Structure 1
């Protein structure tokens, strides 16, 4: 990330992504041969560009996370590394949104969000700052990062580097081993196609002992927003929504309509007026397979309630070995930052080998490519023996170009999936209406600029 994004189910998404956005990740140089990002004060033992006067860095995001959450995930580590810096995090809430802060003349030095929403956040305050030269000046090795992450950020920035990734997320498929064992169905495996996955879902979907079991579901916003065909919600050149593209029919049919034909899935949606989701996987539990963020197991308290594992995201036959797009958390220096060198040192540290390895051990997906960092993933968690190779089985799909309309258009689009699943609209009608509503949303947003 659940949203990160900044919202979680099409229904509990806001709370989840607000939490997900705190995740920081771990990784280093490529294959142990490419030099990674060194710790800011490695070698000489002195930090670069330490100013003579005290430094205060003001950090903000619009996810609403508390100061305690920020400190636990970022602040405490930053302060320990830079004891001479004053780190001031300002929570986004009534009276202290980014617009509120700017209206009162409050400086903001660093913004962070998932990449999907960072550009909208920075553009809303006209705070974009190209970090390309500063990253070079401070010795940040862009070649040590997962290539798709940097390429995606530069594409969305029109060739400019407005932020750097510090943690990552992709979509994977979790499965409840207990349900597969109960019904004698073979476990999923890495490298499965969507057709094979739907066959497994049919075998699990059933009534047993008065309980309805569901074979498969996915989080609509996450799987659609990070889809394997890299179809954007909004075309970057025309600034028009893309929901009349036939690719959306295939994606929604595969991810939702096909599994939704199974009786238990149909009955659940009809009676509950929602799609099966996280609670049906961990709490009830009646769900066999669930596609969600790679950070999921580390973001809830009761993942141990079931016997689970994970596999790589199933793939389309015309897109072999292509998984989801990534959803990294990114930190960016603002154009109004008072001490850009100090801000760069903080971000460089968060992306350093030292910080990435430490966070990878906690279950935060790396942004660097080093095998050593990848192998450290989840090693300090109760889940260290799970199939974490699934995170790297597929290639990351090319990132779509992000723009300032993405969040608004996503809010328009995802409820239509629910309406189609409930039988309130056919798919063609839903996509046409989503297109029309999204066009109006974009037009209204342009008028406010």
Structure 2
């Protein structure tokens, strides 16, 4: 029984409204491109009262990869696609996002994941997150706008992560367990979760207008966040993938981390990625 969606179809660009006020810089707006967001990040990177502020944490770079419709490997031959022209804008955006002097790449935080620094420390001006970022507390006023677009295309990265409720076959109190599951999946509780920033399993039309209404952290629009889910109408993702796509993507991320932290040069990054991918495929044997 579905309980909560993972929110992977509705990522957004979250921002620290108070930091933008401190820098006297207008906050991000809907429908900004990645290049525009990166340029804005340059203007909110620096020292504030002895605290270093980082302009942008782009989060899981897999979202950009999905948005651009890229795969690391050919789905049939498993050969690398990393040198194809379509990949070059991806690497450029990542280099630019983490090439800002004094930027997020200079922290000890993990890169290319949904970092906790944005909410926990309050020293990151912008960060890509899923709607669950709204739930819980934060030491600052928060705003959010639409997921950055690539070129003129607004297609959003898609995913299927969700939370489900299941009855264990050996449960000694099956009837009681069903009662609990029924309550958790009920519309009143699901609506309560939606108002608190969780993405429920019920139909979008039932909760979209009230979504996040009980999360006082949000600034900016100050009204309905239904636009967050309207993005889903633009969802797209290449379904056909190699059986080794996940492993190849992990290798690409690891080598990009080394490059943006200047532990290795960008010039040889693709060479290192392909060498490691070839070794991984060789170790895996025939598919």
Calculate the TM-score normalised by the size of structure 1. 0.50
* Superposition deviation, residue 380 in structure 1: 5.3
d(CA) in 1 for partners of 2:80, 2:200 = 32
Partner of 2:174: none
Task: Give the secondary-structure state (helix, strand or coil) at the position aligned to 1:212.
Answer: strand
In the TM superposition, residue 366 of structure 1 has moved relative to its aligned partner by 5.1
Q: After superposition, give the CA deviation of every residue in 1:368-403 in whole Å (9 maximum; x if it has no partner).
A: 764233224234555585762342353443122256
Q: Deviations over 1:280-317 (max 9, x none)?
A: 3223322110112232333xx5x321111111111122
Moved more, 410-419 or 359-368: 359-368
Task: State the distance in 1 between where 2:39 and 2:85 align.
Answer: 24
Q: Distance in 2 between matches of 1:249 and 1:373?
A: 39
Distance 1:330 1:269, change over 3 A: closer
Relative distance call for 1:280 and 1:332 in structure 2 (3 A) is closer
CA apart distance, 1:230 = 1.8
Using the size of structure 2 for normalisation, the TM-score is 0.75
Question: 1:206–1:263: 8 Å Cα contact kept in structure 2?
Answer: no
SS in structure 2 of the partner of residue 309 of structure 1: strand
Structure 1 counterpart of 2:84, from 245, 264, 272: 245
Change (3 A) 1:326 1:391: farther
Change in CA separation of 1:317 and 1:418 when aligned onto 2, cut-off 3 Å:
same
Q: CA RMSD in A?
A: 3.9
Match of 1:94 in 2: none
Provide the residue aligned with 1:189 in structure 2.
29
Question: Which whole-Å CA distance do the structure 1 matches of 2:71 and 2:277 have between them?
Answer: 13
Indicate the SS of the match to 2:249.
Answer: helix
Q: Does 1:203 align with 2:16?
A: no
Q: 1:212 to 1:439 in 2, by over 3 A?
A: same
Q: State the partner residue of 1:427.
A: 266
Alignment correspondent of 1:281: 118
Q: Which residue of 2 aligns with 1:326?
A: 159
- 1:388 lines up with 2:225 in the alignment: yes
Q: 1:176 and 1:259 mapped to 2: Cα distance?
A: 18
305 and 24 in structure 1: CA distance in 2 versus 1, 3 angstrom threshold: farther
Cα deviation digits, residues 189-233 of structure 1 (max 9, x gap): 1111223212211111123333322211212354345x3112123
> Aligned partners of 2:274 and 2:202: how far apart in 1?
37
Number of aligned positions between the proteins:
269
Q: Over residues 30-52 of structure 1, what are the superposed CA-to-partner deviations in whole Å (9 max), with x where a residue is unaligned? A: xxxxxxxxxxxxxxxxxxxxxxx
TM-aligned CA distance change 1:229 to 1:332, over 3 Å: farther
Kept in 2: contact 1:311–1:390 (CA 8 A) = no
- Contact residue 172 and residue 313 of structure 1 kept, 8 A: yes
**What is the distance in 1 between the residues matched to 2:253 and 2:61?**
6
**Residues 372 and 271 from structure 1, CA distance in 2 versus in 1: closer, same or farther, beyond 3 angstroms?**
closer
1:230 counterpart residue number: 69
1:175 deviation in Å? 0.1
Answer yes or no: is 1:315 the counterpart of 2:126.
no
**C-alpha contact 2:3 2:165 (8 A) present in aligned 1:** no
Q: How does 1:393-432 map to 2 (within 5 A)?
A: 393-394=230-231, 395-401=233-239, 404-432=243-271
Deviates more, 1:178-187 or 1:275-284: 275-284
Give me the whole-angstrom Cα distance separating, in 2, the residues matched to 1:273 and 1:356.
34
CA offsets 1:232-278 (integer angstroms, 9 cap, x no match)? 23332333343223333312321x3213232221xx53464854973
In structure 2, what is the Cα distance between the partners aligned to 1:368 and 1:353? 9
Q: State the Cα deviation string for residues 123-165 of structure 1 (Å, max 9, x = none).
A: xxxxxxxxxxxxxxxxxxxxxxxxxxxxxxxxxxxxxxxxxxx
Q: How does 1:303-382 map to 2 (within 5 A)?
A: 303-319=137-153, 321-329=154-162, 354=187, 357=191, 359-365=193-199, 370-379=204-213, 381=215
Contact 1:231-1:247 at 8 Å conserved across structures: yes
Q: SS state of the match for residue 32, structure 2? A: coil
